[in-house]
């Protein structure tokens, strides 16, 4: 996922600039973290990463990518979707994704407001998401909201620190 102003294409330049200017350190603060691309990049470089943002969606991404240091086991979700892991090669994430990918697509809020198909009545239809992706986002959001899959309740507006 990308913002206007996303720094993904600048990551190597940012890193290169730090090296060129001999700026050393072991911690990195990604203020205005947004999609967390910058924080994730420096986490992979073994920095101790701090991040923050005003938006709740960014908080969720920071929780998943920056605070979290292990592959989630999805124990409660696996119990709810009542499926068995048939192979050791197949990860818990694979099973959850397979379950979510099989749910039939729905035309919901995201489709109706942020895709070309859903906004075709407008003079300038919106192109934030493809029709297919918008429907998949709606489908999974609705599934989460209806509680078939429960997610952890996250506190808002917290900064993270991930140990290097």
Q: In whole angstroms, give the CA distance from residue 77 to residue 59.
A: 21
Q: Which residue of the chain is nearest ligand SAM when measured via CB?
A: 34
**Segment 14 to 43, residues that bind ligand SAM, using CB under 6 A:** 32, 34-35, 37-38
Site membership for ligand SAM, residue 58 (CB under 6 A): yes
What pairs with residue 28 in β-bridges?
A: 49
139 lies in the binding site for ligand SAM (CB under 6 A): no
Question: Is 162 one of the binding residues for ligand SAM (CB under 6 A)?
Answer: no
CB of 25 to ligand SAM, least distance (A): 19
- SS3 (DSSP) at 28: strand
Residue 49: count of CB within 10 angstroms of its CB? 28
Q: Does 53 bind ligand SAM (CB under 6 A)?
A: yes
Of 14, 15, 55, 56, the one binding ligand SAM (CB under 6 A) is 55
Contact 140, 46 (CB under 8 A): no
Rounded Cα–Cα distance for residues 160 and 51 (Å): 6
By residue count, the chain amounts to 164
* 6 lies in the site for ligand SAM, by CB under 6 A: yes
Pick from 80, 17, 78, 42: which is nearest to 160 by CA?
42
Query: Could you tell me the two tokens for 55?
Result: 């938006």
Instruction: Indicate whether 3 belongs to the interface with ligand SAM (CB under 6 A).
Output: yes
Is 5 a binder of ligand SAM (CB under 6 A)? yes
Q: Does 106 bind ligand SAM (CB under 6 A)?
A: no
Return residues touching ligand SAM (CB under 6 A): 3, 5-7, 32, 34-35, 37-38, 53-55, 58
């Amino acid at each position: 996922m990308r913002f206007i102003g996303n720094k993904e294409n600048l990551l190597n330049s940012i890193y290169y600039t730090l090296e060129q200017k001999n700026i050393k350190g072991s911690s990195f603060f990604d203020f205005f973290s947004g999609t967390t691309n910058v924080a994730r990049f420096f986490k992979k470089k073994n920095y101790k990463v701090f991040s923050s943002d005003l938006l709740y969606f960014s908080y969720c991404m920071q929780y998943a990518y920056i605070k979290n240091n292990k592959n989630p086991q999805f124990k409660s979700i696996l119990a709810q979707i009542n499926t068995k892991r048939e192979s050791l090669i197949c990860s818990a994430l694979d099973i959850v994704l397979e379950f979510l990918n099989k749910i039939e697509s729905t035309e919901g809020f995201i489709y109706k407001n942020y895709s070309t198909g859903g906004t075709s009545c407008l003079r300038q239809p919106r192109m934030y998401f493809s029709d297919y992706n918008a429907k998949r986002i709606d489908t999974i959001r609705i599934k989460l909201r209806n509680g078939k899959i429960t997610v952890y309740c996250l506190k808002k507006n917290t900064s993270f620190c991930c140990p290097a």
